Structure 1
Amino acid sequence: MKESCVNEKQRKAVLTSRVLGALVLGGLWSVGTFTNPVEARDYSDLQDLGKVTLVEEKKEPVVAEPVATEEPVYAGGQVSRQSTIGMLGKKDFLDVPFNVTSITEETIANQQATSIIDVTANDPSVTDLTLSGASNAWSIRGFKTTQQDVQLNGIYGVAPRYYTGVEYLENVEILKGPSAMLSGMAPNDTVGGVINYVTKHAGPEDKNTVTLTYGEGHQFTQQLDMSRRFNDGKYGVRLNVLNRGAQEDAYKGESNSANTVTLGLDAKGERWRSSLDMGYIYNDIEDPQYQVTMSQSTANKLTSLPSVADDAKFGAPGTYRTLTEKFFLWKGEYDLNDNWTAWAAFGMRNTSQDGLSNRFLLNNVNGNAKVSYVHNRQINKAISSEVGVRGHVKTGSLDHELSIAASQVRYKVLEDKPTVSDTYTTSIYNPKWQSFTDGSYGPYLIRDNRIQQSIGINDIITTADKKWNFIVGGRVQNVKDTSYSYSGTKVKSTTTYDETAFTPTFGIVHKLNDRTSLYANYAQALSLGDTAPSGTENSGEVFAPYKTKQYEVGAKFDFGKIATTISAFTMKNPSFITTDDNYYALAGEQRNRGIELSVFGEPREGTRILGGVTFLDAKYITLASTYANYEGNQATGVPRWSGVIGVEQDIKSVDGLSVNTRLTYNGKAYVNMANTLSTSPWVRWDLGARYKFNWNQTPLTVRANVYNVLDTVKWRALQGSTTNAIYLGKGRTFTLSVSADF
């Protein structure tokens, strides 16, 4: 009998291995293939031999932890203690010289967040610049970024390029400040910070959660979140499926449908760990909202922003964005010995997009506007890879955690741009839309082929008493880019770019005690250099990648139940402009200086807080030519003050009931570089509640949220030195959901 039980267990183990193998192979076949690492754990000190050497002392073997081990969270469960700091790996927030916040899956679920914008709303250093469901954007420390520069499990190029849904995410990590040394150059020149998606994997307990949601307009969404662990926890599977019908969303006349399937697999052995994430996304947005742009002269003549209805629409009927995204990421690491770990990562993404959008240009102060159209069909592909090694050596009394990594991201863009005719005039106060003629489709032609590759090395030096950490590192980044122009379907010309840059980073952390640390850093971000346009004296000159530089100091306090970070920073971001003597050069510069205060935790049982405040002084320090008169002015679209505070309270008299509220404030922001036209300050008030109970032995959670309770819809300003663009904020919305755990 005993022997038959053993055979049965062996049979199940073999069957499970085959099933997981089939899932992996199926993912490789359907999505595409490639990887990135599970970060190495902290290792013990090495024996002091008075010189650089590996430890010879015999140590107890390190027990391998599963990839899916739940993240250590801070009191209250809203923020994770650890974050992925690029090639440094997973680190506690007190141990790194950077300002980083990691929002947990629990917070995402309780706030009923549907997109990354809903999650970043908890961080005062992040400003929402979203126009519609088809145009999500935000800024970090006053510099704009988009979904295209988001990392997936620490790797660029693999995350969905346009879709911003968060249903498959366990954590959202927000690192403020440049990170070229830590993670390499961002694909689309993000310099203010980086957002990293941490995907869901199976936890120690089986999960079967079905969630039905109605709201954010009239959208009805169904979601399945299911996970299992097999073979005594060695293998894990987590499946997320989401379906959203084509109903009107929170923007007038706009519909947003989505179908997504994501799968997270993980496995562990005695000395190795591995994970595999793959996903399929279909997203269709019809009749999206759009921005209003204006020329410098029009913006400078306006004395106030146009007064329009709260539900005004500047996206033309018949416009749309339809996309299909497939992504795949494998990560693995292997303990070479008790002190050194090697990792590898390979990933792939394929994005197919068909979009018809319109431009709404305000022509003059009387409200006359011009509508034009742009049709873009695009296939965007990326393949990412990374290999590295991390381990410990000792010199005298100093411990060194060394990391060496090499990475490469290959991008290829194929486009078809049908010509759209029928540009017409209308009024911003009462837009009248006319029909238009769309061009015929042609073949997809390659437009851009880029390779970004780099090698980075970093050393975390720790003193014997563990009170001082010094971070010294650098990365050599090479960018090879070839762009194509056509005459019909024949290549007319190509432009080749091949430049290299080095980005160092220095950091220091001094731990006054186990709960207080002081830190400072110097970091850089890289942006792709331009080519001097025709008509300038240096026409055709190719510029190397240019650098945004940051200096930052701060302090972190962990009071056990509540934690706070305060930081002060200055960032200088150069820009290309044509000088007075007609040379195209890095002759412009924007300087952003700021002070940030963030707070999170559970100061008393049942009371949780999350938020902070940011002061940001963003100015044009150096300009030339036609913009010289704007030197010293505040940068467009950047409010001086922004803040958010969320409070959640358990109601002790009603078991399972919690209520929450959140206040968000943004100060005025200038629309034009002359600083003569600005948006008004605005406050958003959100309210919510959730109730957990059992019904027929089935755990249920009902959540209800009202966003922008006071329905304060106001003009907001977009960022960019010559943008002169405004858009309407989102009005009052509500969301109601029921989750059942079977």
Structure 2
Amino acid sequence: TTGITSNSLFGGHADIGGRFGPDNVFGARLNVMHRGGNTTIDGQSTYQSLGSLGLDFRQRSLRASLDLLWQQERINNVVRQFQLSPGLTAVPRVPDNTTAYPGFGWTDGRNISWLFKAEYDISQAVTAYASYGMRKLNWGAIAANPVLLNTAGDYSYAGGWQRMPVRTQSLEAGVRGVFATGPVSHSTALGFTWLDQSQELGFYTGLPPGISNLYTGQLFSTPSIEGINNPTRPYLDTQLTSVVLADTMSFLNERLLASFGLRYQKVEGQSYNFATGVASGPRYDKSAITPVVGIVFKLRPSLSLYASYIEGLSKGDTAPISAAITNPGEILSPYKSKQKEIGVKFDQGNFMTTLSLFELTRPSAGISGTTFGVFGEQRNRGVEATIAGEVVRGVRVLGGASYIDAVLSKSVSAMLKGNKAIGVPEWQANLGAEWDVGFLPGLTLTGRMVYTAKTFVDATNTLKIPDWVRFDAGVRYAARIVSRPVMFRLNVENLLDKDYFGAATAGYLFIGTPRTINFSASIDL
């Protein structure tokens, strides 16, 4: 495959693989990719490389695989998110989406990982499995988060140089089996997962600050780091452990399925003051036994009702690494969440649609003033509908719509209780479609619409960003050249070049991607 992305981002990708040996028990697959050039952002360039090798062994009762991956990505003139000043009275109008504010800096990440997996059929009814993997990431960046100051679009920034090595190892093992007790069939699983991650951080904040305006389009030169010492020190150690026992029972000739499970979860961690490497506060160690319950009843083979209840324990959020935050890098305590859902599913094989009601509660984290922390509990209630499949011959759709009532159900401040949650729009919808043009075999037209309603971006609900809608379009053509199958693809994201703000649940803003044109051609050799 070779292709170009506007403005002048060229690249190529080779995917080579096959099976060999007696009965094709061995397999190998090699992927290599490189692309580089200028992007749709003014003054921005990127260079990306990837190499992966997959090896596997497949026998009647034993299956094993080894995957090796190397990645590198460099971006010059990075795009950063916007932070909101405590004194801001309204969000200024969205600026030009082709400017990287404040328009300097770079990111550089290198990632090496490997994963070994194996599973063995102890009998026709019982299978044991295990996997182990490691990942090493070296990442660095010079960047600055702009802070919006007023409705005129003035912003300040304070540059920083970050270095972050991350080392991760993970383990998974378990056994699954099927059996029957009288008329009831069972599918039972016992699983164990473990993840260990250590992060170091070097954060130099002495780069010159500045002030500018969103609408001038001004770009600044990247500050020099020559001669600056920025060593990395311990930042965060995390261990996640989970043991789950679950059983799915089948009744009434598989018309009724009931799943019950218990999961033991443990979250351990230690955060450090990355300026000194000294532990900041006691090591947190929290565990919980949480239930998993699910029921599916098939009214007809194609129509099902379902309900579920899940509790979970997860690592707390991390405060952004920013000079504009009073507690950058602080790790919040682990979260316990609860999720309920009921719904109906209609599935005819080539066409599927669902409708569900849901409720999710979890601690609410975000920025208040210049401090990142947990300020209450967030409850999301809503309804979601999805559709996927071939509606008529040659026409396929994929999309969905949701309404979410996300509020602060509990708050440390009585004034905030009942307010809308940060970064969660009430309405979201997307619809994609494909049409195989009948009068020209091999030609397919594609399109997509994405809609997001207005969204509050602060806890007091005084700041919000407007709703937006984006359209994407594309075409692909399958042909044969010299007896070889060839696929041409042309896709345009943000067809009308809409300028819009998006929001993160931490209260940050980002600017949508400019109109981006991708063209590629693939040939199967």
Q: TM-score, normalised by structure 2?
A: 0.90
Q: Are residues 550 and 605 of structure 1, via their aligned partners in 2, closer, same or farther at CA, if it must alter by over 3 Å? A: same
Task: Quote the residue 1:602 is aligned against.
Answer: 390
CA distance in 2, matches of 1:667, 1:735: 28
Deviation of 1:230 after TM superposition, in Å, equals: 0.8
1:277 partnered with 2:60 = no
1:259 partnered with 2:49 = yes
Contact map agreement 2:102 2:220 (CA 8 A) in 1:
no
| Residue identity (%) | 32
Task: Quote the residue 1:730 is aligned against.
Answer: 513
Task: Quote the residue 1:45 is aligned against.
Answer: none
CA distance in 2, matches of 1:681, 1:592: 19
Task: Quote the residue 2:291 is aligned against.
Answer: 504
Question: In the alignment, which of 71, 95, 104 is matched to residue 308 of structure 1?
Answer: 95
1:558 partnered with 2:347 = yes
Contact map agreement 1:227 1:239 (CA 8 A) in 2:
yes
Deviation of 1:401 after TM superposition, in Å, equals: 1.5
1:244 partnered with 2:4 = no
1:568 partnered with 2:357 = yes
Paired AA for residue 736 in structure 1: F
Which structure 2 residues correspond to residues 319-718 of structure 1 after superposition, within 5 A?
319-430=105-216, 431=218, 433=220, 436=223, 438=225, 440-485=228-273, 491=278, 495-528=282-315, 545-575=334-364, 588-625=376-413, 628-718=414-504
Contact map agreement 1:368 1:426 (CA 8 A) in 2:
yes
Contact map agreement 2:426 2:454 (CA 8 A) in 1:
yes
Paired AA for residue 483 in structure 1: S
Contact map agreement 1:426 1:433 (CA 8 A) in 2:
no
CA distance in 1, matches of 2:378, 2:518: 40
Tell me the secondary structure at the aligned position of residue 415 of structure 2. Answer: helix
Which structure 2 residues correspond to residues 100-179 of structure 1 after superposition, within 5 A?
none
CA distance in 2, matches of 1:384, 1:466: 35
User: For residues 636-687 of structure 1, what are the alpha-carbon distances to aligned partners after superposition, in whole Å with 9 as ceiling and x for unaligned?
Assistant: 2222111111111111221211111111111111233333332222221222
Contact map agreement 1:485 1:494 (CA 8 A) in 2:
no
Paired AA for residue 732 in structure 1: R
Contact map agreement 1:646 1:663 (CA 8 A) in 2:
yes
Task: Quote the residue 1:287 is aligned against.
Answer: 77
Q: Are residues 612 and 549 of structure 1, via their aligned partners in 2, closer, same or farther at CA, if it must alter by over 3 Å? A: same
Deviation of 1:385 after TM superposition, in Å, equals: 0.6
Contact map agreement 2:202 2:275 (CA 8 A) in 1:
no
CA distance in 2, matches of 1:621, 1:324: 42
Paired AA for residue 30 in structure 2: L
Question: In the alignment, which of 206, 221, 229 is matched to residue 19 of structure 2?
Answer: 229
CA distance in 1, matches of 2:241, 2:335: 16
Paired AA for residue 574 in structure 1: P
CA distance in 2, matches of 1:394, 1:690: 49
Paired AA for residue 497 in structure 1: Y
Q: Are residues 553 and 216 of structure 1, via their aligned partners in 2, closer, same or farther at CA, if it must alter by over 3 Å? A: farther
Q: TM-score, normalised by structure 1?
A: 0.65
Task: Quote the residue 1:219 is aligned against.
Answer: 9
User: Whose relative contact order is higher, 1 or 2, with alpha carbons under 8 Å and at least 6 apart?
Assistant: 1
User: For residues 590-643 of structure 1, what are the alpha-carbon distances to aligned partners after superposition, in whole Å with 9 as ceiling and x for unaligned?
Assistant: 111121111111123221111111111111222123xx3232222222221111
Contact map agreement 2:160 2:207 (CA 8 A) in 1:
no
Deviation of 1:543 after TM superposition, in Å, equals: 9.1
Deviation of 1:577 after TM superposition, in Å, equals: 9.7
Q: Are residues 309 and 603 of structure 1, via their aligned partners in 2, closer, same or farther at CA, if it must alter by over 3 Å? A: closer
Contact map agreement 1:316 1:358 (CA 8 A) in 2:
no
Deviation of 1:717 after TM superposition, in Å, equals: 2.8
Contact map agreement 2:397 2:433 (CA 8 A) in 1:
yes
Contact map agreement 1:420 1:437 (CA 8 A) in 2:
no
Contact map agreement 2:423 2:504 (CA 8 A) in 1:
yes
CA distance in 1, matches of 2:205, 2:475: 50
Deviation of 1:383 after TM superposition, in Å, equals: 0.7
Deviates more, 1:548-557 or 1:597-606: 597-606
Q: Are residues 557 and 265 of structure 1, via their aligned partners in 2, closer, same or farther at CA, if it must alter by over 3 Å? A: same
Paired AA for residue 562 in structure 1: F
Q: Which runs of 5+ in 1 are unaligned?
A: 1-210, 532-541
Tell me the secondary structure at the aligned position of residue 87 of structure 2. Answer: helix
CA distance in 1, matches of 2:473, 2:366: 46
Contact map agreement 1:601 1:609 (CA 8 A) in 2:
yes
Greater strand fraction, Structure 1 or Structure 2: 2
Deviation of 1:382 after TM superposition, in Å, equals: 0.6
Deviation of 1:468 after TM superposition, in Å, equals: 1.0
After superposition, the CA RMSD in angstroms is 2.6
CA distance in 1, matches of 2:80, 2:100: 8
CA distance in 1, matches of 2:231, 2:348: 61
Q: Which runs of 5+ in 2 are unaligned?
A: 319-330
Paired AA for residue 518 in structure 1: L
Contact map agreement 2:15 2:32 (CA 8 A) in 1:
yes
Q: Are residues 738 and 666 of structure 1, via their aligned partners in 2, closer, same or farther at CA, if it must alter by over 3 Å? A: same
Contact map agreement 2:94 2:501 (CA 8 A) in 1:
no
Q: Are residues 483 and 679 of structure 1, via their aligned partners in 2, closer, same or farther at CA, if it must alter by over 3 Å? A: closer
Deviation of 1:392 after TM superposition, in Å, equals: 2.2
Paired AA for residue 289 in structure 1: V
Task: Quote the residue 2:324 is aligned against.
Answer: none
Q: Are residues 449 and 719 of structure 1, via their aligned partners in 2, closer, same or farther at CA, if it must alter by over 3 Å? A: closer
Task: Quote the residue 2:522 is aligned against.
Answer: 739
CA distance in 2, matches of 1:528, 1:276: 29
Deviation of 1:494 after TM superposition, in Å, equals: 6.6
CA distance in 1, matches of 2:144, 2:453: 29
CA distance in 2, matches of 1:705, 1:669: 28
Contact map agreement 1:385 1:407 (CA 8 A) in 2:
yes
Equivalent residues, number: 507
Contact map agreement 1:371 1:425 (CA 8 A) in 2:
yes
Deviation of 1:259 after TM superposition, in Å, equals: 0.6
Q: Are residues 457 and 544 of structure 1, via their aligned partners in 2, closer, same or farther at CA, if it must alter by over 3 Å? A: farther
Tell me the secondary structure at the aligned position of residue 250 of structure 1. Answer: coil
Paired AA for residue 241 in structure 1: V
Contact map agreement 2:426 2:455 (CA 8 A) in 1:
yes
Greater helix fraction, Structure 1 or Structure 2: 1
CA distance in 1, matches of 2:497, 2:39: 16
Paired AA for residue 565 in structure 1: T
